[in-house]
Structure 1
């Protein structure tokens, strides 16, 4: 349930027609620090791989510490606007600061290098094709949330990125009672991760999306090892659980897992951690639990085949040009990570289709979720591979293989985009509604920490 005080705060969120860039976020936090001396201060807590300052705005002087970090994944920019609004309200409203009982540490952008590579779609048009064509997500061992130290069985990771190191130091320095790194999804319904059950908080989180007509997610979880606390609220996945699940399928976990995540690192301080996963596009079927007229096993089998087909196109393209590539651009590094990752997704779906517990009816939400995942894989990773090839062409490396594969993939990609946009209405959720859901989750999380 949403109490009246929180409801009033949600009403403070303005309308937005675009997402904020790195420079706009930095300017907003810098301006707040200058306008509110004694209340807010801005400091550099680290650097990106390319030398960009990572800044943290500290607001208030409450006895508990709350840590909020936007854009650990640079293709997820809702959080940039959310931190600007959160920081503005905390700076301007002494009553709100006091009611939270927290000193707030707000990082405007955890991955500025990667975020700049997504800014081509931040102002729209907000179509799936435009999004995918300007999409970037780093390889797994370059992502903030996948590069905390990790050691389990045969897995060992200590190649901590500079951005992750900044967040690690901030966690150690503040020992937060509450922490959220701001994420979002693309399609489907809204859902949340908590690193421990908090029933009262879960009730608030489940109520927030409905206030804005956003369905709760009833489809496939992000990974089969994820445990459900209640509808659309999941226990934050541990890399150890993902490792064990992949290992039990007979696959190699080391090939699919990089490092640990921020919530696992913060666990040493008893921190309550929250992540809100929100879609850009409204999908009514995301919450539809009615029968889909197909067995779950057959759905997963077809899903595996679609993923395998998508992998084959991407893998054939990457293999054909690999010997000719002249750079190690971010798009090439990401493609080399994610193309095999798609093959692993297909293998997991195939194994799940053969499991006895999959012999049941599938729901409409599960069917929609599988379809959306295939579209996401094609538009995301096809778009990045195209950007990789275009980058090679831009520096004059137009070998016959690169020219040919860029043309063929471009034609295939156009067909993928048309299919994705035809499969569901392209109704974007108002950005202000998405910011309000994240904002409400942050305030509720801090209150229940």
Structure 2
């Protein structure tokens, strides 16, 4: 295997010095410049988003092994935008990861540029907890390209999903990297199938970049594992659930469910901030039962805050303009997920709870309400202050007070962000290792 590059070899300029991220437009411009400067590169427009924004792909090299790397599957996870730029710069600076291992690389800068644009205020600034949550946006699952792949009962893929599905079909890529990032804690990985050699390399990559592994995750509770911190995506039937009283599922399948036969797919979940300081020290026995009460408390906190936000949303909705729906629909979806997690954590607390499980629940009890509150504030601000009725003004003032209190408490327990050299470096190393090992 080729020698892995050291973090200093990753060119993050100019964003790395500011601890900020490029926009999808910045990525498009960078990839276009690289294509013009290097004859062995080709930039291709794949199509347009729902909002008529360009979705492009840079192809580098000409080896037989096809590697597809996609950034921006979720618009509040911008690390991949910088990773694609830094990876393209690395691949065009050396042939070690193209010709020498026989790879052709296909880099998609952002698969959901419309939703990414709604996060542009915080992603363009130095990474900050207040700005992140106050300007946060993540669409409902039914409007996420990552979760609208065809599934039983779900045949409504978005244009962006269709673009990616056609890529997976035509490229027949043997290696697929879907670039995700988490908020707090350690790194973990989601794979489409067990692959012990690759899973071991992923854990080594995290250690190489000084990011600890996350033993548990909010989204992966109960999933099979391929060793520590490597989770195997469950089959479609387990992931796509039809809610009671509905004719069909609320969302579709994931990209990992639609890879070519024999391919390997990896979602590296790399955190922006280190693990938060848990507010209550562990005082239980060696089996972890001491965390059960704390898990139940996290569930109660999340439930109470979700109910507060649901009530605020319900009172505000009749007074909001139609264009605020982009935020209010997302708030409602976030609160549905929060309520589901609170119920799950409360049931888990009836048995032994590990420190990792409690830490994941504690993070969720903080982040779900802040995300929803930030988006609801954006919805309320759709009505100009000068014409805002008294009811909306009172709702906004109460919501802003709660938001500020939650952020203040979050700052007390959250360390400084990870260096972007480590975050981006781990995503790049994941891609390089997967490409070298192959399926």
Q: One fold, TM greater than 0.5?
A: yes
1:386 paired residue among 377, 399, 408? 377
| Structure 1 CA distance for aligned equivalents of residues 53 and 127 of structure 2 | 28
| Structure 1 CA distance for aligned equivalents of residues 6 and 415 of structure 2 | 29
1:444 paired residue among 430, 433, 436? 433
Deviation (angstroms), 1:85: 1.4
| Structure 1 CA distance for aligned equivalents of residues 347 and 354 of structure 2 | 19
Asked if 1 retains the 8 angstrom alpha-carbon contact of 2:7 and 2:422, the reply is: no
Could you say which residue in structure 1 is the equivalent of 2:399?
Answer: 409
Change (3 A) 1:214 1:127: same
Asked if 1 retains the 8 angstrom alpha-carbon contact of 2:150 and 2:157, the reply is: yes
Change (3 A) 1:95 1:208: closer
Deviations 1:384-442 (A, max 9, x none): 11111112337x762333222111111111111111111x2331100111111000000
Could you say which residue in structure 2 is the equivalent of 1:40?
Answer: 41
Deviation (angstroms), 1:346: 1.6
Asked if 1 retains the 8 angstrom alpha-carbon contact of 2:44 and 2:58, the reply is: yes
Q: State the 4+ residue runs in structure 1 displaced beyond 4 angstroms.
A: 251-257, 289-294
2:269 paired residue among 249, 258, 277? 277
Could you say which residue in structure 2 is the equivalent of 1:331?
Answer: 327
Number of equivalences: 427
Change (3 A) 1:223 1:397: farther
2:27 paired residue among 25, 28, 37? 25
Q: Secondary structure of the residue that 2:221 maps to in structure 1?
A: coil
| Structure 1 CA distance for aligned equivalents of residues 65 and 246 of structure 2 | 38
* 2:414 corresponds to 1:425: yes
Could you say which residue in structure 2 is the equivalent of 1:106?
Answer: 107
Asked if 2 retains the 8 angstrom alpha-carbon contact of 1:66 and 1:176, the reply is: yes
| Structure 1 CA distance for aligned equivalents of residues 157 and 399 of structure 2 | 34
Deviation (angstroms), 1:447: 1.6
CA RMSD of aligned residues (A): 2.4
Change (3 A) 1:240 1:296: farther
TM-score normalised by structure 2 residue count: 0.91
Could you say which residue in structure 2 is the equivalent of 1:301?
Answer: 296
1:94-173, aligned counterparts within 5 Å?
Answer: 94-151=95-152, 156-173=153-170
Asked if 2 retains the 8 angstrom alpha-carbon contact of 1:332 and 1:385, the reply is: yes
User: 5+ unaligned residues in a row in structure 2: which ranges?
Assistant: none
Could you say which residue in structure 1 is the equivalent of 2:174?
Answer: 177
Deviations 1:89-109 (A, max 9, x none): 222323331123122111011
